[in-house]
Structure 1
């Protein structure tokens, strides 16, 4: 089966837009993180810390290997922003918690990330629609 040229062009253009948006978001996070003395990975980890979580969960959210997440968390822990505590039901796992300073910095970071965000030109409804469409694309074609 041969894909029509128009479909191939549309997919190429869409991939270019998604890559361009990802680059804009990456640059935005890096710039905002720097104003707080953080690296982009540290800022992303703080953004993803929506509550206590295991290192493995944070690594999944960061899209990296647990060893890379460990390096990021080590730096945040050294800065007094995150602490490791024993998991209540799994002795092999440590849970990550934001410290009060980490919670405060995370709130400031979220405010900065929202300010002039690459997605800020979209309405809430448009963002919801984009979220749904990207989720479907990431899930892949139905079999």
Structure 2
């Protein structure tokens, strides 16, 4: 059974992770807004590093594919992405950024890198944090 000290340390660590996630979300929301995007649209653009299906994007955004449909529809309507037939699965469509979408994604990534909640960490420290969080998530 966990000791009181272990329980308290676990609770503190969970609080820190939650606070960092909240700061990252607020940072994304603010930067996306400067480009006329919602937080969900900003997250989708950040994650669309290559062509992917709605399901793949939903997994990366930790939500249901049905929720991503609206976001993809808006981005498509704004000319930032297109749906193309999947080359290997005729039932699926791939989301592919248009040149206008690539340009917007690049601008968003640049904005996100400025004053990031992770900026106080040196690149090596960010690598260590990524490694530790990845280990914690793998079960």
Give the TM-score range, shorter chain.
over 0.9
Q: Distance in 2 between matches of 1:3 and 1:87?
A: 49
2:60 is matched with 61
Ranges in structure 1 where 5+ consecutive residues have no aligned partner:
none
Ranges in structure 2 where 5+ consecutive residues have no aligned partner:
none
Q: Tell me how far 1:72 sits from its aligned partner.
A: 0.7
Q: Distance in 1 between matches of 2:55 and 2:129?
A: 27
**Superposed, which structure 2 residues align to 1:28-67 within 5 Å?**
28-67=27-66
Map Cα deviations across residues 53-72 of structure 1 (whole Å, 9 max, x no partner): 11111111010101011111
**Superposed, which structure 2 residues align to 1:17-36 within 5 Å?**
17-36=16-35
For 1:16, what is the secondary structure of its paired residue?
Answer: helix
Q: Distance in 2 between matches of 1:24 and 1:65?
A: 23
2:123 is matched with 124
1:84 is matched with 83
Map Cα deviations across residues 73-124 of structure 1 (whole Å, 9 max, x no partner): 0010011001001111211000110001100000000000000000011011
Q: Which aligned segments of 4 or more residues in structure 1 are displaced greater than 3 angstroms?
A: none
Q: Distance in 2 between matches of 1:69 and 1:37?
A: 18
Two-structure CA RMSD over aligned residues (Å): 0.7
Q: TM-score, normalised by structure 2?
A: 0.98
Map Cα deviations across residues 35-68 of structure 1 (whole Å, 9 max, x no partner): 0000001000000011111111111101010101
Q: Tell me how far 1:139 sits from its aligned partner.
A: 1.2
For 2:115, what is the secondary structure of its paired residue?
Answer: coil
Q: TM-score, normalised by structure 1?
A: 0.95
